[in-house]
Amino acid sequence: MISLNDLRQFKMQGRKFSCLTCYDASMAKVMQVAEIDSILIGDSLGMTIQGNDSTLPVTVADMAYHTRAVRRANQHAFIMTDLPFMSYATLPDAIANAREVMQAGAQMVKIEGGAWLAETVANLTRNGVPVCMHLGLTPQSVHVFGGYKLQAKTREAADQLLEDCQALADAGAAMFVLECVPAQLGKEVAETFPHIPVIGIGAGNETDGQVLVVQDMLGLTMGKLPKFVRNFMAEQAGAEAALNAIRAYHAAVQDQSFPSAEYTFQVEL
């Protein structure tokens, strides 16, 4: 089983690692065969599985349920689980809810936000819970942002994100996820924190790893997709198309052919 220390070693070795969302045992088994490095049980299940129009209705019980299903079926990947909307607004809530998903099989929890969560990160870390911080476009704050839009488009905003990362790193954050930010900023964060793995989703190909929603990269999501999504299923054929698509994604992350320029935001910072 891949550990957090393995992901750190991958970063130090310059080996890019793959991550996909997963919510059920069947897909977890496919990802084990495909040797996907890490799995995110994301609160994106609110939309992909439950049919909601955002992640906000997802509960901690939902996250624990899907974490157990994935962990039973996959003994290879590093598994992290989202703490959903408002489940870590207070320190007691954060500790209790992190305990629930960790006992369900997660190796790390992921929460969304910046420097204001440093105390939460420090408390969780002291209690044996590794924390991944999600910055940039944070879906739980979609109503604050006014929609799903590119973040940190100016040097000032980029510097603020870097300051948030520093405060969170000082508090003990063990990983970062950067969503929908310019490629230059993804590279800058990865280089600024040499011992913290940085996963990108719409953050260029020079972060340490990549994550996509599995339904998006398999072409199963109807409607308009974000710029940073590549349909790997469309490149495959035959009875094992899904497995081959996931293998192709894993290989493309490792050789940095994904995300290429067409799936990347480039702005002047």
- Among 14, 70, 38, 267, which residue's Cα sits nearest to residue 155? 267
Report the amino acid identity of residue 151: Q
With pLDDT > 70 as the criterion, what percentage of the chain qualifies?
98
Q: How far is CA 66 from CA 39, 70, 86, 243, in A?
A: 12, 6, 19, 21
Residues 89-129 pLDDT 10s: 999 999 999 999 999 999 999 999 999 999 999 999 999 99
Q: Give the count of beta carbons closer than 10 Å to the beta carbon of residue 143.
A: 9
Structure tokens at 206: 């020079």
Quick one: pLDDT band at residue 139, thresholds 50, 70, 90?
confident
CATH classification code of 4-263: 3.20.20.60
The dihedral sign for the CA sequence 109, 114, 116, 122: positive
Arithmetic mean of pLDDT, 141-156:
79
191 labelled catalytic: no
pLDDT > 90? residue 237:
no
End-to-end C-alpha distance for the chain, whole angstroms: 39
Among residues 112, 179, 188, 206, the one annotated as catalytic is: 179
- Among 22, 24, 67, which residue's Cα sits nearest to residue 212? 22
Arithmetic mean of pLDDT, 30-57:
96
pTM reported for the whole predicted model? 0.94
